[in-house]
Amino acid sequence: MAAKPDTSRTTKRSTSTRSTAKRATAAPATAKRATAKRATAKATSAAKSAVPSSRPAAPRRQGSQGALAAGAARASGERAKRRSTPLLATSSRPAAAQTAPAPAAASSAASPTTSRAKHRPHPVAKAASIPTKRAVARSGARTARQPVRGRNGSAAATRPTEAAPVRVLKAVTDDEALAPATKPTLSTSRTAPGVEELLTAGISAVRVAAGVAGVSADDVERYLATMLSFIRRRVTGDYTVDEFGFDEDFTENFYLPVLRPLYRSWFRVEVRGIEHIPSEGGALVVANHSGTVAMDSLMTQVAVHDEHPARRHLRMLGADLVFQTPVVGTLARKSGSTLAANPDAERLLSNGELCGVWPEGFKGVGKPFSERYKLQRFGRGGFVSAALRTGAPIIPCSIVGAEEIYPIIGNMRTVARLVGAPYAPITPTWPLLGPLGLIPLPSKWIIEFGSPVETADLGPAAADDPMLVFDLTDQVRETIQQTLYSLLMQRRSVFF
């Protein structure tokens, strides 16, 4: 009977062989790790010798197992040393310091506080540093504050204490985080300029501009004050209008000031015989009409108001077309004009107003330049009848210079019929130059008021006598015509 093989011995032998092979395979890797650890442990060998370790050294084993055990002990000792030594003391030192002699390394290891103070000094806290709300919002906490007492014992301000612990009180909202730390205070010495300062600065600038332009600064300032007062009255409604629509405040403060530059600087109007106009009571001014555009009536109105000592307003009698025009009709009503009808004229004269009439009408305004200063027919003498019924004197007025502002060299009758106008003039500048043709030529004007023709002695019944009315009409017309010829002889030039 064959003997059974000893399987237990064979198994033990194979197990021993496998363990030996594992140790032989792991020996090079272990040797490499041990070499690296040995190089690292050289820097700390001096510290180990200076500081005695509480652990006894492991007994050195014989053979390969002893070498492995020694390497493991050194590795565990290094890990223990790293855990007991502050990270700053070993990591912040340069490589040269790690290979320093044993006494220096020992002193560094023995006093970690000194090494930490050397490489990372504590920041010095500012005495008056107050954290802003934005900084608090970023940190998510608030610092405890202590009231700082002033000299009189009152709480003047709050400052954070240096040793106060930081604890979260509440969450800071977005509005608080975005709000500034301190609110700006308004200084009384630097405030926004008021209305008085702005007006003073504006008036000063206007005075300087007037001085540069050669205009009296006092006149400009007076005019500005008048305009501001006028605007205030218009806004508050502090003005009156009579039954004919005459607005005296509007006429004196807006209408006449707009016409004065033309009267004084452009046409340079010379007024004669202003003393023939009575200071009070009704009177009828009868004048010649010309100029393509009725500028002569406007200049006569300015002359009566500005040159007469009583500053009387001339209430003009206009045609129907004037009041049918949208803007012109409103301005005419506000400036004192009314419809050229006997009832309105008689009412004005009976109320003691100074009226003005231009009997030629559109026939005189639209006559060609070749017939200049030749009076057209005065109509049926309705103005004479109104003067006779009221007993108002008739004052002849002759105007020289208006014929040359828009010399009519042609008439577009077809265009006039289409637009419903009495005439469509052609002048040297219109319509050739377009809008520039509307600028009048700067002719020299002379306005002369003749001696009045009294009608009070004839009585109201004389208005019903046609022959007397025609005689007075022709008398007034001939007076104006002769005066025109006389003024033309005296005039040196059309523009001078």
> What's the pLDDT at 224?
78
> What's the pLDDT at 426?
94
> What's the pLDDT at 310?
94
pTM score, two decimals?
Answer: 0.59
355 near 284, Cβ under 8 Å? yes
472 near 394, Cβ under 8 Å? yes
**Is the peptide bond between 440 and the residue preceding it cis, with omega within 30 degrees of 0?**
no
92 near 32, Cβ under 8 Å? no
Task: Let me know the angle formed at the C-alpha of 92 by 87 and 94, rounded to the nearest 5 degrees.
Answer: 135
Long-range contacts of 88-94 (CB under 8 A, 24+ apart): 88/112, 88/115, 88/116, 88/119, 88/120, 89/115, 89/116, 92/119, 92/120
> What's the pLDDT at 100?
43
> What's the pLDDT at 412?
92
> What's the pLDDT at 36?
60
Give the separation between CA 351 and CA 246, rounded to whole angstroms. 14
Task: Let me know the angle formed at the C-alpha of 375 by 370 and 379, rounded to the nearest 5 degrees.
Answer: 130
Question: Between the CA of residue 386 and those of 45, 251, 280, 284, 349, what are the distances in Å?
Answer: 140, 26, 18, 9, 8
> What's the pLDDT at 360?
92
For tokens 């040793």, what's the residue? 163
The 8-class DSSP code of residue 100 comes to S
Short-list 309, 296, 381, 299, CA closest to 345: 381
396 near 286, Cβ under 8 Å? yes
Give the separation between CA 452 and CA 113, rounded to whole angstroms. 123
> What's the pLDDT at 70?
67
Give the separation between CA 430 and CA 276, rounded to whole angstroms. 38
What residues of the chain score a pLDDT lower than 50?
1-12, 15, 21, 24, 46-47, 50-62, 87-118, 126-128, 141-148, 150-191
> What's the pLDDT at 223?
76
> What's the pLDDT at 102?
43
